[in-house]
Structure formats: C-alpha cells, structure tokens
Structure 1
Amino acid sequence: MINVMLVDDHAILRDGLKTIISLENDMDVVGEATGGSEMVALLKTISPDVIVMDINMPEKNGIELTKIVKKEYPDIKVLILTMYKHEEYFMSALKEGADGYLLKDSPSEQVVDAIRTVHRGESIIHPAMTKKLISYHQQEAQAKEETVLTEREKEVLVCLVQGLSNKEIAGRLFISDKTVKIHVSKIFKKLDVKSRSQVVIYAVQHKLVQLP
C-alpha cells in the first residue's frame, strides 16, 4: 500500500485528490496539510511514502518544503502538482530533489500513475515541462569537461532523459533489470546526483546527450 500525504491549501483540490486516490486499491491518503507548519507537524506522527504538494501555499512554498523533506526525510518521494509552468519554479523544484512535476490540468489517471512512478524511485515530468527543460538548458548551458561515462552508461543515460523506466530500458538495450539498476547507480555516482529528475537536468545542462 502506498501511503500518500496531500499538501495543498485548497480544500476542494485535496478532497478531489482524496476521492480519486480512494478508488485505487494500492494507495491511501494518510494525511493532509494546508501548508508548511501542518506538514512538518504531521511528519512527526506519520510516515507517508509519497507527498503530493502544491507550490503556492502560505508560510513556506512547495519548493522550500521539498528541500525540508529531502533533507530530513530522504526516503519520502515528493510529487509537485501545480498550475505553474514557469521554468524557475520547475527548475528550482527539481534542484531541491522533487521526484516529479505535474500540472494541475493533468488527467486524474496520470496523477495516480505518477504517484506509483515516484514511489518506485522513478521520475515523472509533465511533457510541457520537459520541453521547457530542454529549451532552458540549450540556451544557458556552457561547455564543461566531458564526464567519463562508458558507452553503455551513455546509452542508459539517453533512456533516462527520455523518461524510460528500468524495465523499458532493459527491453530497449536487451539487458536485465538488475544490470540497468547497476548502470543507473554508477551514473548517479559519477554525475553526483540523487534522483532521476536531477540526472535529466545534469545531462541536458552539460550536453551529455544529443536531443532532437
């Protein structure tokens, strides 16, 4: 069972998400908060697997709260669900360790699938934001010494940037899931990143992959 916490100051949205999640057999809402203070207090009494969080909230915003969660509760996954399409919010959220970034116009089935995705340790990014990410870094990225990755690691890195799961990477490269996990772990270590979303940022920023 995936234990989910909802952090959003709009009661209607929380109620809607709670109803949607309650229809799923593999997840349950174990806590709700309207802002930072409530969230921090709740985390002392419950242990959610995934926090679904807005950005614009009283006290601290979702980006600041993501930083707190990742520092104090590194095993908890954070899925940002917001109306903001601005690059600065998106980039800041990922840099603070958010595991996913969806827009509030996403279909309900995409939201519940995203909860499962980040719970598995994978990342999910709204397609519109992926395009902004690529554009943002193509404009601002500067030349950097090439990171030493093996040819196989480079192939895996391309798949990560394309948003493929470990199973999909294994199928494309004709290797086992276990081997994919080993390659992903080595890539994380070499690039000094902690999540798949950060891998995407780093790879695009430093032009480690060729994108269309």
Structure 2
Amino acid sequence: MIKLLLVDDHAVLRDGLRNIFELEDDITVVGEAVSGEDAIEKVKTCQPDVVLMDINMPKKNGVEVTGILKKQYPGIKVLVLTMHSHDEFFMAAIREGADGYLLKDAPSNQVIEAIRTVARGESVIHPSMTKKLLSFHQQNQQEQVQDSSLTEREREVLMCLVEGLSNKEIAERLFISDKTVKIHVSKIFKKFDVKSRSQVVIYAVQKQLVPMPPAN
C-alpha cells in the first residue's frame, strides 16, 4: 500500500484528489497539508511514502519544502503537481530532489500511475516539460556535458536522450548503428544507476549536466 500525503492550499483540489485516490486499492491518503510548513510537520506524523506537492503555497513554497524533505527523509518520494510550466520551477524542483514533475492539466489516470512510478523508485516528467528542456538545450548546444565518468560518445548520446530522441534517431544523428546506441544507453544507465530515460533526464538536471534556463 502506497501511503500518500496531499500538499496543496486549495481544499477543493485536495478533496477531489482524495476522492480519486480512494478508488485505488494500492493508494491510501494518510494526510493533507495546506502550506509548506504544514507539509513538513505532517510528514513527521504521517510518514508517507509519497508526497504529492504543489509549488505555489504560503510561507514555504513547494520547491523549498521538497529540498527540506529530501534532506531530512532521503527515502521519501516527492511528486510535484503544479500549474507552473515555467522552466525555472521545473529545473529548481528537480535539483532539489523531486522525483517527478506533472502539470495539473494531466489526466487523473496519469497522476495515479505517476504516484505508483515514483513509489517504485522511478521518475516521471510531464511531456511538455521535457519539450521545454529540449528547446532550451537546442539553444545552448555549445555548452557540453561535463562528467568525467562518461566517454565523449556517451556524452553525445546523453544529450540526445535529454532531447528525447529515440534510439533510431540517435543512430541517425551520430551515424552509428542502433545496436551501438543501445550499448551506450545501457552504459549510461549503469553509470548513473537509473532504469529509465526520465531518470536520465532528471539525473542530468540534478547534476547540472545541462544548462539552467534563466528566470523568466
């Protein structure tokens, strides 16, 4: 059973989410928080597995709270659910340790599956945020990945992964075979200790392997 804490200052939204999650056999809402500081206190008492975190809240925003919780409770999973699609919020939340980032226009079944995904130790990124990251990266391709554990070819493949390219598209861009791409991707997954492409992107953001978008 996944123990979930809802963090949002809008009661109507919290009620709606609770009603949705109560229909799932493997998710139970163990508490609700109305502010950043309230969330920190509720985590202590409710001991959730996953925190569904809004960003725009009184006193401490969701990005700040995410950083605090991840430092105090490294095993807790934080899934951001917000209306903010700005690059700086996304990048800041991920760098503070968020395990996923969804926008509030996501369908309920996607949110439910995202909760299960982060609870398993994997990561989730809203498709539109991946596209924003891609757009920013394409405008800053002169800034190269700096990670001594990667070979030059692996760095090239990593940037292709950040851009959201498929193995076939990576092969075509780098003039290598699909099989070679799979080998490089496998090595990157192993070096970063990740299991999915979303986790690769999050790792790259957290380790500042991609340039940070300026604040709007």
What TM-score, normalized to structure 1? 0.76
How far residue 147 of structure 1 moved from its aligned partner, in angstroms, is: 3.6
Runs of 4+ deviating beyond 6 Å: 150-156
- For the residues of structure 2 that align with 1:146 and 1:184, how far apart are their CA atoms? 14
Mapped pair 1:198 → 2:202: yes
How far did residue 148 of structure 1 move? 3.7
Indicate yes or no: 2:34 matched with 1:34.
Answer: yes
Cα RMSD of the aligned pairs, angstroms, is: 3.2
Distance of 1:89 and 1:6 partners within structure 2: 19
Question: How do 1:12-23 and structure 2 match up within 5 A?
Answer: 12-23=12-23
CA contact (8 A) 1:99 1:118 kept: yes
Q: 1:188 to 1:77 in 2, by over 3 A?
A: same
Q: Identity of aligned pairs, percent? A: 55
* Cα distance in structure 2, aligned partners of 1:38 and 1:163: 40
Secondary structure, aligned partner of 1:5 = strand
Distance 1:37 1:203 in 2: 28
Which residue is equivalent to 2:132?
Answer: 132
Partner of 1:143: 144
Paired residue for 1:82? Answer: 82
User: Which residue number corresponds to residue 99 of structure 2?
Assistant: 99
Q: How many residues align?
A: 188
- Could you tell me which runs of 5 or more consecutive residues in structure 1 were left unpaired when the two chains were aligned: 165-171, 175-179, 190-194, 207-212
Inter-CA distance 50–150: structure 2 relative to 1 (3 Å threshold): same
**Structure 1 residue identity aligned to 2:192:** I
Match of 1:3 in 2: 3
SS in 1 for 2:105: coil
Name the counterpart of 1:186. Answer: 191
| 1:89 shift after superposition | 0.7
CA distance in 2, matches of 1:184, 1:54: 29
CA contact (8 A) 2:145 2:210 kept: no
CA distance change for structure 1 residues 92 and 145 in 2, over 3 Å: closer, same or farther?
Answer: closer
Greater displacement, 35-44 / 93-102: 35-44
CA distance in 1, matches of 2:4, 2:125: 19
d(CA) in 2 for partners of 1:8 and 1:27? 18
CA distance in 2 between partners of 1:155 and 1:50 (Å):
34
TM normalised by structure 2 equals 0.74
